[in-house]
């Protein structure tokens, strides 16, 4: 008898849940609000949404280097454009392939927008000549004419990375590839200023993690904000 009452009680609870929840689930499906892949990526990740007000860190360091087509490219080339900047090298066996994939994702999102661009500066200019950079861009499948791969004087580039942007880059014979560097991306607005969002404590992040899905999502959100300014 008690066993039958238990079954009746459980059945009643299931019935109530169905009456309450099923219409909501059906409604979410019909409105396309079911959990999608990008939302699944957020599981377990601590996210901080931008409030639409990005911090201005200051003017980006000035540079003038040579791109994959042997053309001089400088800050002025990107005047009036929003762009993302990184330091890398083509023979990097560690973090660069992941950075390349992140940049390709960003390129795809904003492809065709004349007000957006990407700057990839090699820290191994001895090897990474304009032709090598051109071949590398082709290998990656780069399509944007506003994505410049830059090379030039080694000392100038190292100063630009370490002193200008404060993004570490250096030679180290003990590591694979002979160089080590930051995996962070800088975001520059139309006026040539470095911009960023705040963290959960209200402090500026300054740069975006090009090795992390959240970092890539964050910078794409903030590129949209700067393009709309």
- Give which of 103, 94, 132, 118 is closest to 188, Cα–Cα: 118
The per-residue pLDDT for 72 is: 98
Answering whether pTM is above 0.85, one says no
pLDDT band (50, 70, 90) for residue 93: confident
* Residue of 216, 187, 225, 214 whose CA lies nearest to 46: 214
116-158 pLDDT, tens digit each: 999 999 999 999 999 999 999 999 999 999 999 999 999 999 9
CA-wise closest residue to 41 among 214, 219, 215: 214
Q: Is the pLDDT of residue 183 over 80?
A: yes
| pLDDT (tens digit per residue) in 154-171 | 999 999 999 999 999 888
């Amino acid at each position: 008898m008690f066993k039958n009452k238990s079954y009746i009680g459980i059945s009643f609870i299931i019935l109530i849940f169905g009456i309450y929840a099923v219409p909501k689930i059906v409604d979410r499906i019909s409105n396309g609000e079911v959990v999608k892949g990008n939302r699944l990526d957020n599981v377990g990740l601590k996210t901080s949404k931008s409030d639409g007000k990005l911090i201005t860190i200051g003017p980006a360091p000035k540079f003038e280097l040579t791109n994959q087509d042997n053309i001089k490219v400088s800050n002025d080339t990107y005047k009036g454009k929003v762009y993302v900047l990184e330091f890398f090298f083509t023979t990097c066996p560690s973090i660069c392939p992941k950075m390349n994939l992140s940049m390709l994702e960003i390129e795809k999102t904003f492809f065709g927008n004349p007000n957006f661009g990407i700057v990839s500066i090699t820290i191994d200019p001895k090897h990474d000549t304009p032709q090598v950079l051109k071949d590398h861009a082709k290998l990656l499948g780069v399509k944007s004419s506003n994505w410049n791969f830059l090379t030039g004087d080694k000392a100038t580039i190292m100063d630009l990375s370490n002193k200008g942007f404060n993004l570490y880059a250096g030679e180290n014979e003990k590591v694979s590839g002979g160089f080590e560097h930051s995996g962070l991306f800088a975001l520059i607005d139309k006026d040539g200023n470095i911009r960023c969002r705040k963290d959960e404590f209200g402090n500026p992040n300054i740069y975006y993690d090009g090795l992390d899905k959240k970092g890539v999502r964050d910078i794409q959100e903030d590129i949209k904000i700067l393009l709309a300014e």
